Structure 1
C-alpha cells in the first residue's frame, strides 16, 4: 500500500512539473460559516474565477468573486508555483472593480492551492484566508475548489487573447511545383539496319499528308560507309463535315404569368414620428454604444451598477416613454424590442431622474441578443442622458 501511495505522489509531481497554469480556472469557495448560513437558508457557496498568465515559476492575472455576473468583485493577483510539488500560492493585490448590494464589504483573498491532473482534467484545490480592505479585519477562512475551463463567465483578458493568437499555427503557403528534370534520350550504336520514319501532318484545309523516309546504311570492308535515303510522300484529302447553322424556332406560346390572386402584397407600416420629449431635447445626449445584431428579439435588463443607492431612471425607446421613474436595484428592469429589416434602427435613452445617494446615476444594461450577450455600463446626470443604439443586420 505504501509503495502504491509513493508511486501516486511521484505521478502527481511529474504532472505538476509539466503543467501550465495559463488560462481560465473556475469553481467555488465556502467560508467557515457555511453551515450557519445554510441553516438560515442563505447561499453559502460563492463562485470564483481566475485568469492567469504563467511565466516560468511565477504568474499574474485577475480574479473574480461573485454570486452572479451582475454583482462581483474583481482584483489583480500574482503568485508562484512549485513544479516539483504542485503547490500554488496566489495573493490578490488590489480590487479594481466592485459591484455589490447592501452593506457588503470588499475583501482581499490569499489562496494556498494544490495542483492535480486526472486524465485531461486539471484542478486546483486548497484553502483561503481573507482580509477586509476597509479596516484590515479578517473576513474569514474557508475551502476553495477550481477546475481549468475554456470559457469565461465575464470576458477573456487581453493577455489570454494574445496567448491564443500566438498559439495559432501560421498559414502554410503553397510552393510552386518544380519542373521535372529533362532526360536525354539514349544514343544507340549504329548496327547497320534500315530505319523507317513516318511523319503525318494536317494542313489547315483539311488535307492529310503522310511522308515516309527510309534510310539504309551499309558498312563496307574498306572502311567506307554508303548511305542511301529514299523519301516518298503521299497526300490524302479528307473532307471536313459541314455544320449547318441552327435556325431559331418561333415561340409558339408565352411563358406562364403569375395569376393576380397569387401575388401577395406586403404592407410596410411606416414608423410614427413622435415629438422629442423635453427631457431629451433640453439635455445633452451622449452615445454610449451601438450594438449591431442579427437577432430578431432583444431582451434588455437594467440593474443598479455598484452600491444600491436609490438611483432612479426613466427610459425612452424611439422617443416613447417605456419606463417611468423606476428605482434601480439588484432585480432587473426589463424591456423587450422586436427588430426587422423594415424597422432596423432602435434607440434607447436613459434619463437620470435623480443622482442617488452617491452621484452620478449609474446603471448596468445586460442585452440578451439571441446567442450573444452584451454588457453596457451607463452613467447619466441631470445634464446628460445616455444613449444606446441597436441596429439590425440581416444574417449573412
Structure 2
C-alpha cells in the first residue's frame, strides 16, 4: 500500500514539474497593420519573455527590440491554465526604453497557447497594445515564442532562482523510488533464512579442516573472474578517416557523411557557440532536408556544414527550399548538421524552418542562429 502511495505522489510531483513554463522564451511579434501589408513593410519585432511560474501565477520580464530603431524592457505578470495550456502575459511597467522621436511606447497584453512538439515548446497567440501615456489603442497582432536555453540579454535572477527550485523537485523525483526498493526488500529476510541453514548444514558433513579450504579457494576464483570482463576498448572514436569533399549542385546537395568527422574544424564552428536545437533518430539511411525562411523573407543567408564539411555555402533563404540530401552510413550512426548565419537579414536573428523527411518519418525544426551562435541538428541512425 505504501508503495502505491509513493508512486501516486511521484506522479503528482512529475506532473507539477512537467507543466512548468519557467524559462526563456524568444521569438517575435508582428502588428497586423493592413497598410504595412499592402506596402510590403515588415513590422516584425524581436520579442523575448523570461518567465518564473509559481502554481498558476507568472512573474515575467519582456524585451522588445528591432535593430537599433527600438528597444524596451518591461516588467510583467500573468497566469497559466494547466488544463487548457492558455497563457496570459500582461506588461505592467516599462523599465528601460530607447526609441526614435516619432515612436510610441506601448504595453502589451498577450493571450498565448502553450504547445509542445517533440523536445520543443512554443507559446503562440495574439496581443493587444495600449499607449503608456494615454492608454489609447496602439494596435494588435500575433506573437510567436520558442523556449530557449540562452537569453539574448541575461537571465533574470528570479528566473534563475525558480529554475533551481525546479531542479530540486526533479532531484526529489529521482530520489522517491528509493523507499519503494526498501519496501520491496522486506521479504528478503525470508531468502536469508533459507540460505542460512544451508550454510550451517554444509560444514556438518565435512569432518576435517581441508574441506573448508577448498570452499575458500572456490570463492576466490569467482571474485577474480569478474575483473576480466572489461572489453570496453571497443570505444575507439579517435580513429578518424578523411572524407572526400562532396559535390554541391546549385539547388540540391547530395552528401555521404563517410565514417567520421572531418579533422579540420572550420573557424566559423570553432569560434562560435554551437547550440543543439534538436536531436532526431531516423530509421532510414536517406534523409532529405528542406530549408526555408521561417516567416517574412528578409534576406537571411546561411551556410550548412555536415560533420564539419561545408555542403551549402552562402545561400539566401526564401519560400523555395534549399534541399540537402543526406545518405547516412550504417557504420556511423551519428551526424551533425550545423546551420551558420552568414548575416542576420533585415530583421535579426537569422531564422529558418527545416523540414526533415526520412522514409515515412517527417519533422519540422525551427532554427535560430546569430553571428555569435550556430544552430546544431543531430541525426542518429537507428536502422530499419
TM over 0.5: no
- Greater relative contact order, per chain length (Cα 8 Å cut-off, separation 6+): 2
TM-score between both structures, scaled by the size of structure 1: 0.38
Larger proportion of strand: 1
Larger proportion of helix: 2
Q: Which protein has the larger Cα radius of gyration, Structure 1 or Structure 2?
A: 1
